[in-house]
Structure 1
Amino acid sequence: MRRATSDITDILGKIPFRVAFSGGWIDLPFVSEHNPDPYGSMVVAQVEPEFAWMPRCGICSSTRDIAMKIWHGQVPHDRDRMELVKELFWAENGQKVDHSGAQDMVGLIYPGISRLDFDIRHEGGHFPRHIENCNDPEIAAWLSKVLHVVTIEPRPPGYYPLDVKNLDPEWIRRLGRSGIDCYDGIVNKDIHKAGQAFNECMLCWEAILPGICRHKTITRDLMGELKFYQDNYPGAMFSGCGGGYFYVLSDDPVPGGFHVTVRVEPQG
């Protein structure tokens, strides 16, 4: 007889997942070095490990796999968070040519919703110069309610988003500001401001790294589908380059969408 498991984390492990919103790619130095503003921001939220996300979908599953291995299935609670971010960053990126950004690591380690401010003059742009963190259960519950996740599919074999780079400073400025607006919208429970920031981020991605949105290996009309969600709801964006999932902000149900639980750390 098979032994009953009491919780999905018995299978998935206790380390959270992270979802990333507006401003993504500003955490990469090859982007942030062209930002004319003092810094640019992006937003991540830590979510409970309630199910297995698809791989290759911008959910930092590979980073989480490394964290599961080096920390034996649970994030250490007796160490400085930024110290953990850097340990995990170098554990993943030590031998890689195209580095994963530190937003992956921050999202796995910091609870709640975080705005990460990146400045090329701070540690070479690899790590945020400041993290504005919201661990408010009420705001986390609101975001969990209005965020709808719609499945697309994993990035296809042979997909590479960096074939074309249009590193225009004005678009990069807008990208970094979309993260600021997104965070402000979330912490003030302003679905329209947050949604506009989702849409703005997608415009920036399409201009700066068009392979995020269109690529010879992508056979679906992802931008057509995205436009539908943006036209009919306050905002929508990809979970990562090449699709993965749509993140749709809405007070109303979104057909095919499901919710995730934004994780906060217990108070007191």
Structure 2
Amino acid sequence: MTKKVFVSGCYDMLHSGHVAFFKEAARFGDLYVGIGSDKTIYELKSRQTVCSEIERLYMVKAVRYVKDACINSGSGMMDFVESVERVKPDVFVVNEDGDSEIKRMFCKERGIEYVVLKRVPEDGLTERSTTSIRNTVKSQLPYRLDLAGTWIDQPYVSKFSPGWALTISLEPTIEFVERCGMSTSTRNAARKIWPYQLPNYNSEMLAKLLFCFENEPNKNEHVSGAQDAIGICMPGLCRHYYNNNYWPEKIESCLDEDVLCWLEEHLCMMLMFPRRPGTTVVENSHLCEENVKELADAASRCWDAIMRKDLQGFAASFKASFEAQIKLFPGMMAEGVAEEIEKYKDKVLAWKMPGAGGGGYLAMVCEKPLEGSIRIKIRRRLE
């Protein structure tokens, strides 16, 4: 009578290493596979799976060395207990990474033979692991580009005068450089929760989750503005209204295709240089009601101009918003920034540095994008 063999694992991003393991385990008899549920894997590894449990079950069952497979109903490292009780295997197989004393004792108590296999790739193939593959997969998380009102999302600014911040969520068509105003620090925080892409969930709720995750209450550090999380998580063009609080009182979105295409046609970017280590843009700030109101008014005019697809109005308010930012925080104009702006100011209608400034990219409003510039692609898809 053919023996029953049992193995258990995650089997996310199914690869040749998994298949080689199944092939070797099947030498001991008919192979049954227990698969960790999405919930269990999230609890153990603090990350979402790339492939859902239904997809993983489908793929594992399709492997010719597998007799049958199921989703384990338990939790934790021993989530397979009920599957083993149902299958009643003669042999329990693990690879070296999965070997543990608790599994040995579990099998000994039930009279199940316990076998540990070394990781050996199929002849001619490279050794594979899910971790090594994960490290080579490019994240599809969006970036954010702020158009106007930057700094108003900080209560120490909006307490002088409430107002809107305008952001657009960008498809990751290129990998933007760190420390260049594209909210890469918030995006890196997002990757700890969602390594590859945003989940299919309410986008405003995702933004709140990301904001809370990045700004843990027990950290006595600078609080990242909510516009970063909103710009990453909420698709299209958004404006969010701040009034002496970290989270906006209201959020409005524009997903109109004509407006988004128009923005893509009249915005481009150029890299200057990353913000230099030690650069502090908040020193010697000029915070007062008059200056903050200039910032807020420029952002409101910018939104209205975009809604009308008024290029000259958009350029004027875009530039006014940047000038208001510099008036509030002169340190944004770090050494070398003015010289970089000078290269393009006669070729475009308006310009600003995304984020806190001090270096990074120049975002520019133009009749048509400059040759050699970075074109933007606004994310439309609702998560």
Match of 2:143 among 5, 10, 17: 17
How far 1:256 moved relative to its partner?
3.8
Which SS does the other structure have where 1:21 is aligned? strand
Task: Determine the structure 2 residue equivalent to 1:91.
Answer: 213
Identity over aligned pairs, percent: 30
168-177 or 227-236, larger mean C-alpha shift: 227-236
Q: Distance in 2 between matches of 1:143 and 1:76?
A: 26
**Residue 203 of structure 2 is aligned to residue 81 of structure 1:** yes
Task: Determine the structure 2 residue equivalent to 1:110.
Answer: 234
Classify 1:96/1:227 alpha carbon distance in 2 versus 1 (closer, same or farther; 3 Å). farther
How far 1:166 moved relative to its partner?
0.9
How far 1:134 moved relative to its partner?
0.4
Which SS does the other structure have where 1:180 is aligned? helix
Q: Distance in 2 between matches of 1:112 and 1:96?
A: 33
Which SS does the other structure have where 2:380 is aligned? coil
**Residue 358 of structure 2 is aligned to residue 242 of structure 1:** yes
How far 1:258 moved relative to its partner?
2.2
RMSD: 2.1
Matched letter for residue 159 of structure 1:
T
Match of 1:136 among 247, 256, 267: 256
Task: Determine the structure 2 residue equivalent to 1:194.
Answer: 314
Greater gyration radius: 2
How far 1:117 moved relative to its partner?
1.1
Match of 2:158 among 29, 32, 35: 32
Classify 1:197/1:227 alpha carbon distance in 2 versus 1 (closer, same or farther; 3 Å). farther
Q: Distance in 2 between matches of 1:198 and 1:40?
A: 15
Q: Distance in 2 between matches of 1:109 and 1:187?
A: 21
Task: Determine the structure 2 residue equivalent to 1:150.
Answer: 270
Q: Distance in 1 between matches of 2:312 and 2:137?
A: 37
Unaligned runs of 5+ in 2: 1-124, 129-135
Q: Distance in 2 between matches of 1:243 and 1:188?
A: 31
Which SS does the other structure have where 1:239 is aligned? coil
Q: Distance in 2 between matches of 1:115 and 1:164?
A: 28
Which SS does the other structure have where 2:290 is aligned? helix
Contact kept, 8 Å, 1:178 with 1:197, in 2: the verdict is yes
Matched letter for residue 233 of structure 1:
V
Task: Determine the structure 2 residue equivalent to 1:160.
Answer: 280
How far 1:226 moved relative to its partner?
2.7
Task: Determine the structure 1 residue equivalent to 2:328.
Answer: 208
Unaligned runs of 5+ in 1: 4-9
Classify 1:29/1:134 alpha carbon distance in 2 versus 1 (closer, same or farther; 3 Å). same
- In the superposition, the TM-score normalised over structure 1's length comes to 0.85
- In the superposition, the TM-score normalised over structure 2's length comes to 0.61
Classify 1:236/1:260 alpha carbon distance in 2 versus 1 (closer, same or farther; 3 Å). same
**Residue 295 of structure 2 is aligned to residue 171 of structure 1:** no
- The superposition leaves residues 99-129 of structure 1 with CA deviations (integer Å, 9 ceiling, x where unpaired) of 1100000011111001111112xxxx11111
